[in-house]
Amino acid sequence: MMGLKIVDPAEIVGAERLQKIAEFEKLAKEIKAKEDLLKEEILKTMESFGILNIDTPELKISYVAPTNRETFDSKAFREDFADLYDEYVKIAPVKASIRIKVK
């Protein structure tokens, strides 16, 4: 019987790459949290003062009023009308990607 060498996938990809992507993911989460906080503060200020638009050389901000969104419950439709669902469902290819979760 031939001996098989078990290799850690992290070794193949490279510890340095994995460390860098972990750092980037953590930094992106921190930046996103700060961005969300700033957006919420701007939204509250715009609502308080009735501001609908802000236009500066760097950016443009438009106030979007709350509304109701109509959605389609495809899961319930599929359960109730399986044959009809199959006639209208479209299958679209999705390219390969990676999912990263920082621990």
The model's confidence at residue 2, banded by pLDDT at 50, 70 and 90, is low
Q: Does residue 37 register a pLDDT over 70?
A: yes
Per-residue pLDDT tens over the stretch 55-100: 998 899 999 999 999 999 999 999 999 999 989 889 999 998 878 7
> How many domains does the chain divide into?
1
Residues 62, 52 contacting (CB under 8 angstroms) = yes
95 falls within a domain: no
Helix (H) or strand (E) holding 42: helix 15-49
Helix (H, G, I), strand (E, B) or coil at 61: strand
Among candidates 7, 56, 61, which has minimal Cα distance to 38?
A: 61
> What pTM was estimated for this model as a whole?
0.70
36 falls within a domain: yes
Among candidates 17, 4, 8, which has minimal Cα distance to 98?
A: 17
Q: Does residue 17 register a pLDDT over 90?
A: yes
**Integer-rounded Cα radius of gyration of the chain:** 24
